[in-house]
Chain A
Amino acid sequence: MKQASGEKCINLKLKVWRQKTQNSKGRLESFKAENISKDMSFLEMLDVVNEGIILSGKEPIAFDHDCREGICGTCGAMVNGRAHGPEKGTTLCQLHMRHFSNGDTVIIEPWRSRAFKIVKDLVVDRSAFDKIIQAGGYISINTGGAPDGNAIPVPQEIAEKAMDAAECIGCGACAAACPNASAMLFTGAKISQLSLLPQGHPEAKKRALAMVCKMDKLGFGNCTNEKECEAECPKEISITNIARMNREFLKSGLFS
């Protein structure tokens, strides 16, 4: 997709996945998106299309979105086969129409993954990610009685690495982009964050084992080093987090 030049507005042809409910049959439906300002975000373009659909008495395209500033992880769709569209390190809400050209055809589909069922149109059920976190993606401490924040120094480089992993927004692009529908980048990021920090050490083994088992049970596939997850992650989370997860998992198996 080349950088559009010159004109302020563009016209696009959209092919959008429409599916009424989880169990009904879906299909691509065509829409015209006309007079789209290049300053619009992708979701604002969909807003404009939806306003037209509503005025014509039909049902608007359902899509998930909330913060529209790239941090809540609610939005996401496959745009011309790419999770969150063509721009690297960008969520769908932060993708701007200046990256499209007049006359482009844009195919918009929901995340496709065994563990993410379609709710309607582009909306999917990502509660499987919540279940992975529930299996152990936390440090078990009740409110109250925590020691002073500076009691345990954390080397700056370790804090930075933990933060690199913690930036994950849980959008699901990694699993959607992976040919095996693996959730290893998502799971690895959380395991990494907590195993890097000293506060997370006491539970590290138990956590890795529980989260990896849960991930498998939910129907996510395995990692075969395709690196699609890293390429499509809007927060550019590194696959070294998967390697770290594997080490933690091995430790939990070998030494427990």
Chain B
Amino acid sequence: MKLDSKIPNGPLSEKWDRHRFDLKLVNPANKKKFEIIVVGSGLAGASASATLAEMGYEVKTFCIQDSPRRAHSIAAQGGINAAKNYQNDGDSIWRLFYDTIKGGDFRSREANVYRLAQVSNSIIDQCVAQGVPFAREYGGQLANRSFGGAQVSRTFYARGQTGQQLLLGAYGALSRQIAIGKVSLFTRRDMLDLVVIDGKARGIIVRNLVSGELERHSADAVVLATGGYGNAFYLSTNAMASNVSAAFASYKKGALFANPCFTQIHPTCIPVKGTFQSKLTLMSESLRNDGRVWVPKTPGDQRLPAQIPESERDYYLEDKYPGFGNLVPRDVASRNAKQQCDIGKGVGDTQLAVYLDFKDAINRDGHDAIARKYGNLFEMYEKIMAHNPYETPMMIYPAVHYTMGGLWVDYNLMSTVPGLFVLGEANFSDHGSNRLGASALMQGLADGYFIIPYTIGSYLAETSPEKIDNDHNEFNISSLKVEARIKKLISIKGKRTVDNFQRELGNILWEYCGMSRNNSGLKKAKKLIKNLRAEYWENVLVGGSEQDFNQSLERAWRVADFLEFGELMVIDTLERQESCGGHFNEDYQTDENEALRDDNLFCHVSAWEFRGDKRKPKLHKEPLTFENVELAQRSYK
């Protein structure tokens, strides 16, 4: 298989325009003859569903939640980037493109990232028109704030709930199409398999989470917008139901999985408190606009923060990176927090935390100004930690947050299975080995509102798929396979719960495939995961029955996939013998402990092909070429 990224010819700034002209169109009258399945209702899925329906396609939208409004995009806090240059501070499409390429440590495609920067401005316009209540200046103009990895102020926001407001905008647009019958909505459905007929994606098998029944749905194309795989680590900032199963089922049906070793560990999360913990809570990166990160200068200093005088505090980000200070990119901030804790300078009971201090900002701007910007975040922190961050510094520690890897897609967002398109966090496309803050919302909406509506039309016009029924033999085969796996999970009746297994898998991945990796640890992790997976299929205990609302079974299915996926993640990590962005192999670092890339050997996308349970997946490389930016060692000093 040769990977063809289908990047259009021509100068970077003209590629998307030319490509849009070259794409085939579906006659308006014919659009209603095509059915499109969209799985997921987050920013990418909801925006794609609404837009495709507006264009005239018949859309079937699926989500695991009870309402499409609850997809995990809703939890994004800080903001969304766009190259509007409203602040007149030197921003441009080129600068947003460059910051994103550099932020991703030169492991993403120039053409994709440039297109993302190009459409960023239309996203803001679209969302404003929908009634998204963005923050405004006194004169009524849109307000901006700064985010990590950029020296311009280009982030649009709605308090600390930007993801919620953008999602509700897309959900509104989706609801309008549901009301007029152009979108059929299926809630509480879990996609368990992709159905491929004559080499093309033609449908899905879902489990109705209320009745437990398996359902078959066919279409002319399938769009996955099912999010990332962060919950492989068990503790993450992802929602509890976020999972890799739909993407992994597609991988097993021929879609290549790209760069699974790229996971973003977010620097500002509330630290772990105990073994009972079920998830971690993010504190928006926007806090680093005004909060100063520090630890005591002396390792082991257990005094309360107020008792540590200014001269004995180490503002390590400001000292080490005077150019960007507290606003270095996420991977850099996380790694530095870990390094401080590793040498004994961590704070709090577990000593796995650093301070994020607002005292200077409150003295400078006043309590009310800080409350207006971050009020809800401060409240959330206080609810969880029982400390008031207006009075004492927050304690934060890095946590798994976002996954840059995902299903491989070409410039049209189509996977290696024709007719299977992948959007948002579920694809690998735009963030390289590290995503900059406020870029996930931008990418999800770019894919859904402005890219897939063009590219999917061209696929449908070119292939004009034949009509099929969902009693086609491939549906039977898929359905039987899914049913057998469910029955197997329930019948094991072992001694360990699903959660118990997932915690252990999470610990293995966090320990050996987390913020800092080394080859011997990774080899060990591979064995540990294999053994754990073997035990899972003999000793897992799933409560309840299959023909029922059964949350234990839902999780059991997802953890079974995480146990397979975890191994793929480790294989990919081992294969990439360099450090870049969020992937930090201890053997490859500069004298100053920064990630050291190897552009000769690893300037490529690693895409993995499934070849059966017994064989190692096959690696395909898509070389990355940089014609417009110079490959450089990232510097934020």
Which residues of A come within 8 Å of B, CB atoms? 37, 39-41, 43-44, 47-48, 51, 53-55, 57-60, 62, 64-74, 87, 89-90, 94, 96, 98, 119-120, 123, 125-127, 129-130, 133-135, 137-144, 146-150, 152-156, 159, 162-163, 166-167, 169-170, 193-194, 197, 199-200
- Closest CB of chain B to A69's CB: distance in Å? 5
**Cα distance A151–B635 in the bound complex, in angstroms:** 38
CB distance from B34 to the nearest CB of A (A): 18
Query: Of residues 140 to 160 in B, which have CB atoms within 8 Å of A's CB atoms?
Result: 140-142, 156, 158-159
Given contacts A138-B176, A150-B86, contact A193 B131 (CB under 8 A): yes
Tell me if B536 counts as interface (CB < 8 A to partner A).
Answer: no
Main secondary structure of the interface of A (DSSP, over half): loop
Smallest Cβ-Cβ distance to B50: which chain A residue: A143
A62 neighbours in B (Cβ, 8 Å):
549, 551
A130 touches B386 (CB 8 A): no
Contacting A155 at CB < 8 Å: which of B131, B140, B179, B187?
A: B140
Q: Does B256 contact A (CB under 8 A)?
A: no
Interface flag for B240 (CB, 8 Å): yes
Beta-carbon nearest neighbor of A8 in chain B: B274
Q: Do the beta carbons of A149 and B69 come within 8 Å of each other?
A: no
Q: Which of B284-322 contact A (CB under 8 A)?
A: none
Binary CB contact string for chain B from 527 to 557 against chain A (1 if under 8 A, 0 otherwise): 0000000000000010110001101100000
Q: Which of A90, A119, A138 contacts B210 (CB 8 A)?
A: A119
Q: Is the CB of B240 within 8 A of A66?
A: yes
| Bound CA span A71–B176, Å | 23
Query: How far is B385's CA from A96's CA once the two chains are assembled, in angstroms?
Result: 9
Q: Which residues of B contact A130 (CB under 8 A)?
A: 67-69, 175, 178, 185
Residues of B within 8 A of A170 (CB): 67, 69-70
Query: Whose C-beta in chain A lies nearest to the C-beta of B211?
Result: A21
* A34 shortest CB reach to chain B, Å: 13
Report chain B residues within 8 Å CB of A68.
239-240, 278-279, 281
Q: B134 to A159, Cβ gap below 8 A?
A: yes
21 A-B pairs with C-beta separation under 8 A:
A39-B274, A51-B499, A55-B497, A64-B66, A65-B240, A68-B240, A69-B279, A69-B281, A72-B70, A74-B65, A87-B383, A90-B383, A119-B549, A127-B67, A127-B187, A130-B185, A138-B172, A138-B176, A141-B129, A149-B128, A159-B135
A38: nearest residue on chain B (CB-CB)?
B386
Chain A's closest residue to B168 (CB) is A166
Task: Report yes or no: A162 in contact with B497, Cβ–Cβ below 8 A.
Answer: no
Lowest 10 A-B CB distances belong to which pairs?
Answer: A153-B140, A138-B172, A146-B129, A146-B125, A162-B133, A163-B133, A134-B179, A159-B136, A149-B128, A54-B543
B450 on the A face (CB < 8 A): yes
User: Do B140 and A163 touch (CB < 8 A)?
Assistant: no
A249 to B47, CA, bound (A): 30
Expressed in whole angstroms, the Cα–Cα distance for A199 and B128 within the complex equals 8
Measured in the bound complex, the distance between the Cα atoms of B551 and A119 in whole Å is: 13
**Could you tell me the distance between the alpha carbons of A231 and B411 in the complex, rounded to whole angstroms?**
50
Contacts of A197 in B (CB 8 A): 131, 133
Contact, CB under 8 Å: B175 / A146: no
A96 in contact with B384 given A71-B164, A143-B51, A199-B129 (CB within 8 Å) = yes
Please measure, in the bound complex, the distance between the C-alpha atom of A152 and the C-alpha atom of B51, giving whole angstroms. Answer: 24
Say yes or no: A199 contacts B131, CB within 8 Å. Answer: yes
Which residues of A have CB within 8 Å of B480? none
B486 contacts the other chain (CB 8 A): no
Q: Does chain A have a CB within 8 A of B233? A: no
Query: What separation, in Å, do the CA atoms of A159 and B458 have in the docked complex?
Result: 40
Q: Evaluate whether A129 and B67 lie within 8 angstroms (CB atoms) in the complex, with A141-B129, A155-B140, A159-B136 already known.
A: yes
Evaluate contact between B129 and A40: CB separation under 8 angstroms.
no
Residues 158-172 of chain B, each 1 if its beta carbon lies under 8 Å from chain A, else 0 = 110100110010011
Contacts of A70 in B (CB 8 A): 380, 383
Q: Is the CB of B276 within 8 A of A44?
A: yes
- What residues of B have a CB within 8 angstroms of the CB of A146 in the complex? 122, 125-126, 128-129
Could you say which residues of chain A place their CB within 8 Å of the CB of B131?
Answer: 138-139, 162, 193-194, 197, 199-200
- The reply to whether A143 and B54 form a contact with Cβ atoms under 8 Å apart is yes
- Asked if B449 is at the interface (CB within 8 A of a chain A CB), the reply is yes
Nearest A residue to B67 by beta-carbon distance?
Answer: A130
Are B383 and A94 closer than 8 Å at their CB atoms?
Answer: yes
Q: How far is the CB of B287 from chain A (nearest CB, A)?
A: 15
Contacts A47-B276, A62-B551: A149 and B176 contacting too (C-beta < 8 A)? no
* Residue B453 interfacial (CB < 8 Å): yes
Indicate if the CB atoms of B278 and A43 lie closer than 8 Å. Answer: yes
| B142-A150 in contact (CB<8A) | yes
Task: Give the contacting residue for B497; candidates A54, A153, A193; CB below 8 A.
Answer: A54
**Contacts A59-B544, A62-B551, A155-B140 hold; do A96 and B133 have CB atoms under 8 A apart?**
no
Partner of B380, one of A94, A139, A166: A94
CA of A55 to CA of B497 in the docked complex: distance in angstroms? 7
- 16 A-B pairs besides A67-B72, A143-B54, A150-B142 with CB distance below 8 A are A37-B276, A54-B543, A62-B549, A65-B240, A67-B70, A68-B278, A120-B210, A127-B187, A134-B176, A138-B173, A146-B126, A149-B124, A149-B127, A150-B86, A150-B141, A155-B136
- Cβ of A134 and Cβ of B178 under 8 Å apart? yes
Is B373 interfacial (CB 8 A cutoff)?
Answer: no
CA distance A123 to B118 in the complex (A): 43
B9 sits at the interface (CB 8 A): no
- Residues from chain A with a CB closer than 8 A to the CB of B75 are 67, 69, 71-72
Closest to B449 in A: A143
- Nearest residue in A to B160 (C-beta to C-beta)? A71
Q: Does B138 contact A (CB under 8 A)?
A: yes
Instruction: Decide yes or no whether B363 CB sits under 8 A from chain A.
Output: no
